[in-house]
Amino acid sequence: MRIAIAGGGPGGLYFAALMKQLDPAHEVTVWERNAPDDTFGFGVVFSDETLSGIDNADEVVHTAMESRFARWTDIDIEFDGHRFTVGGQGFAAMSRKDLLGILQRRAADLGVTVHYRTQVPDVDELRASHDLVVAADGQNSTIRTKYADVFRPSLDRRCNKYIWLGTDLVFEAFQFFVRQTEWGTMQIHGYPYSDTGSTFIVEMHEDVWRRAGFDRTEGEDLPPGVSDEYAVARIRELFAEELKGHQVLTNNSRWINFTTVRNERWYDDNLVLLGDAAHTAHFSIGSGTKLAMEDALALAACLHEHPTVTEALEAYQTERKPVVESTQRAAQASLEWFENIGMYAGQAPAQFAFNLLTRSRRITYENLRERDAEFAALMESEFARHEQAPEVAPAMFQPVRIGPLELKNRVIVSPMDMYSSVEGVPGDFHLVHLGSKALGGAGLVMSEMVCVSPEGRITPGCPGLWTDEQRDAWRRVTDFVHAGTTGRIGLQLGHSGRKGSTRLMWEGMDEPLEDGNWEVIGPSAIPYGPGCHVPREATRADLDQVVADFTAAAERGVQAGFDLIEVHAAHGYLLSSFLSPVANRRTDEYGGPLENRLRFPLEVFDAVRRAVPAGIPVTVRISATDWVPDGNTEDDAVEIARAFIEHGAAAIDVSSGQVTKDEKPAYGRSYQTPFADKIRHRVAGPAGVKVIAVGAISSYDDVNSILLAGRADLCALGRTHLYNPQWTLQAAAEQEYRGAGAQWPVQWEAGRRKPPSSRTDRIPPRLELLREGAAGQVHLRWTPGPDGPVRS
C-alpha cells in the first residue's frame, strides 16, 4: 500500500510505524508542519489497558515508553483546607516530548518517510496517488473541514477557560487543588510526568476568568510558541502555596476554551480521520494522545485483517466509534461538572471529594471500595454523620424525610403506566404489582399516573380517581402496603392532555384510538407529533374543570390512604405541555414567558396542596429539558423547580423529555441525574426540599454513588423493579446489610442471605505469606530517586 499521513503527532507516527511493521513493503509517508522538536504540552497519561495494547503491538515502543514512565496510584484532593487521598487507581505518565522522540525514532528505524516543517500536499492529489490518506492533523483539521459535508462534524466550544502549564515541582500523585477566591472557584489539575516535572493545568469558568482580570490579554494575537506571560505571572502569585516556591513552566501556553469534536462519519472512500481530527475528550477524563494511539492500533489492525480498504475503514469506524463515544459521554459529564464546580462550594469537604471523583459516572462507590476500602468507609461514615443517621450503613438504606413523611430508605419505585385498569378501576393486578414492590423493600412505592377524569386518561386502560369506586379499589392496595410492609405508598396524579385518547402501549404507543376516541385538550392546538391528535386549545372553562378534577382526585387520594401525592407536570402531559414553549404557544396570560407558562400548573398544584392535609407531602415531577431546540432547558428547570418550591412542594422529582416526538435525548447511565444535581444545589437544597433522581439508574452502586455525592436525596427506579420486584432486599443482601432500612417480611427472612454460588472442591489457601512489594499497593506515590517510587 501507498499510505499518506497528514500529521506527525503521536497518532500519525504510531500508525505509520505499525503499518511498516506489518509489511515493510508499505510505502508510508508523513507530513508534519512543525519541526521534530516542536512539542506543545508537557505530560501525557495512559491507562493500563492502552499500554497492554501497545505492548502487544510493538514491544520496542512499549519498552522505550516503560523506561520513562512516572507511575502512581493515588489521587489527592485539596478543598476548603481539607486534604483527601484515595488510592488504587493506577496511572502512568510521561513527557510528551519523550513520547514523540520515541515514535520519531521508531518510524525512522522502520523506514517511514517523514517530512518535517512541511505542509501536507493537496489532499485530492494524495487521494488519487495513494491507497490510503490518514487525516491525523489535529483538532483544527483542515482536511476534516474540507470534507465537512461527508464527515458532518460538530464542534462544541465549552465555557470554561484553561491554560496548559508545567512546573518543576514533582507531584507525588494526581493532584486536584480547588481554590475559593474572591472572584469564584478555580481549580488545578496536576500530575507528574517525569523525575523533573509535572503538568499544571489551571481551569475556571469564563465568568470567574473575567472577574479575576485574566481577560486582559484576550485581544492580543500571540505568535505561535509565545505564552501568555501576564497570565503566568498572575498564576504564580495566586497559587504560590500550591507551587511551594517552584517555577511555572510554559510551552505555547495561553488560555483556551475546550472544544469537543465529534464526527458522524470517520471515513470517505480512501480517506480516514484519526485522533483529534475525529474526536476530542476533555482533559479531565483522558488523554487525547491515548485515544489517538488507540485509534492507530485499531486502524492498523483493521487494515491488516480485511481484504479491501473500504472494508477495513468500515470495520475501524464500527470498532472505535462506540468506544470513543462512550469516553466522550464520560468526558462530557466531567467537563460539565468542572463548569459547574462553583455550585458545590457549599458541600461538606468529604462529600465534595467523593463528588469530584465520581463526576464522570465511570468511577463509583463500589469501584472506590475495591480500590481503597478505607476511603470508601470514610465516605459512608461521613454521609451518616452529615445526615444525622442512627447508624453507618449504605447510603441507600439511610432514612430520609419528604416533608413530614419519614421513609425507611431512599429507594423509590418509580411510577410506571401499566394500562391494566377497567373503567379507571385498579384491580388484582395493581394489588399484586404494587404490593410486591412494597414487599420487595422499597421505601416508597409510587402508583402509575392516576388520571383525574375520563378525558384525562392516556389510554382506556389507565386508572383514575374520579369515582368513589376507584377510591375504594385503591384503598385495598394502600391497606395491603401498610399492613404487610414497612414501606409507604404514593399517588401520582395527572391529566394526559394532548397525549390522551391513545392505544394501549403494546398495541401502539402514542397512536390514536381507532374507536372510542375522546376529545383531547392542550395549551395550544399543536399535536405531540405526526399522526397524533390535534388538541383543542383549552378554554378558561376547561382549565377551571381541570383544577376541580385535580382537587376532587386529591381528596379521594387522601381518603384512599396514600402517604404522599405527586402532581405530574412532566412527560408532555397537560401540565407539562403548559410549561413547554414547544407545546404552549398561547398569547394570553398562560403563554409566552416562563412566568406565564408556569401559571396554570401552579394553579393546579396550589389546589392539590389545599385539598391535602398538612401531614401528607405534595411533590411534583417535572421534565428538566425538552431535548429539542427552543424547548425548556435545565436552566429553565431550575426556575420551574424554584416556583413549585415556593408554592410548597416537598420534593422535586426530576425526569426529562417526552414533550415532543422530535426530541433527541442523550441517553446513558444515570443520564438525567445531572439535572437533579443542579436543581438540588441551586434551589432545593438551600430550601430544605428533597430531590429525586430518575432515569437509567439500575444498580445499587449507582444509587449509593448518587447519594454519597449529593446529587440527589432519593433515587427512583422503574424498569429495575420490573426485572426484580425484590430488588431493594436483594441489594441489602448483596451488601450484607441488615437493619431498619431493609426489613424482610417475616415470611421471607430465610432468604435474606445471599444464596451460595456453584459448589467447588477447591481448598482455599489458609495463609498467604507476605512477599516483597505485596503490601501497601493501594497507595503508590511517585517520588523518584535511587530506590524508585514509594509505596505507603
- DSSP for residue 756: P
HEC sequence for 223-249: CCCCCCHHHHHHHHHHCHHHHCCCCEE
β 113-115/267-268 pair status: unpaired
Grid coordinates given for 791: 509505596
Query: Which residues have C-beta within 8 Å of that of residue 325, sequence separation ≥ 6?
Result: 262
Return d(Cα 770, Cα 779) in angstroms, integer: 17
The H-assigned helical ranges of 59-178 are: 59-66, 96-110, 123-129, 142-146, 148-151
Q: Which of 645, 648, 668 is nearest to 656 (CA)?
A: 668
Residue showing cell 426529562: 656
Instruction: Tell me the C-alpha distance between 9 and 116, whole Å.
Output: 11
Which residues are CB-contacts of 674 (< 8 A; sequence separation ≥ 6)?
333, 336, 634, 711
Alpha-carbon gap, residue 660 to 318, rounded angstroms = 31
Alpha-carbon dihedral of residues 388, 392, 397, 400, nearest 10 degrees? 0
Cα separation, 344 vs 346, whole angstroms: 5
What is d(CA 365, CA 703) in angstroms, rounded to the nearest whole number? 9
Q: Which of 414, 412, 409, 444 is nearest to 718 (CA)?
A: 414
CA distances from 552 to 172, 570, 781 (A): 65, 21, 65
3-state secondary structure 357-385: HCCCCCCCHHHHHHHCHHHHHHHHHHHHH
For 268: left if phi > 0, alpha if psi spans -120 to 50, otherwise beta; the answer is beta
Catalytic residue among 162, 573, 590, 700: 573
* 3-class DSSP assignment, residue 329: helix
- Strands of the sheet with 113-115, listed across from one edge: 113-115, 27-31, 2-6, 132-135, 271-273, 267-268
Grid cell locating 370: 475495591
User: Cell triple for residue 69?
Assistant: 514512565
Q: Cell 463548569 maps to which residue?
A: 339
Contact 210, 171 (CB under 8 A): no
Report the chain's terminal Cα–Cα distance, integer Å.
Answer: 52
Helix axes 309-339, 288-305, angle to 10 degrees: 160
**Do 64 and 117 meet the contact criterion of CB atoms below 8 Å apart?**
no
How far, CA to CA in Å, does 403 sit from each of 71, 212, 407, 689?
Answer: 50, 41, 10, 8
CA pair distance 735, 701, nearest whole angstrom: 10
Residues 329, 59: Cα–Cα separation, whole Å: 32
Q: Reduced to 3 states, what is the DSSP secondary structure of residue 85?
A: strand
Q: Measuring CA to CA, how many Å separate 252 from each of 165, 235, 268, 280?
A: 9, 16, 34, 20
* Residue corresponding to grid cell 442523550: 666
Range list of β-strands (E), 550-600 = 564-569
Q: Is 700 a catalytic residue?
A: no
**Alpha-carbon gap, residue 631 to 390, rounded angstroms:** 44
Strand bridging mode 488-494 / 564-569: parallel
Kindly list the catalytic residues: 573
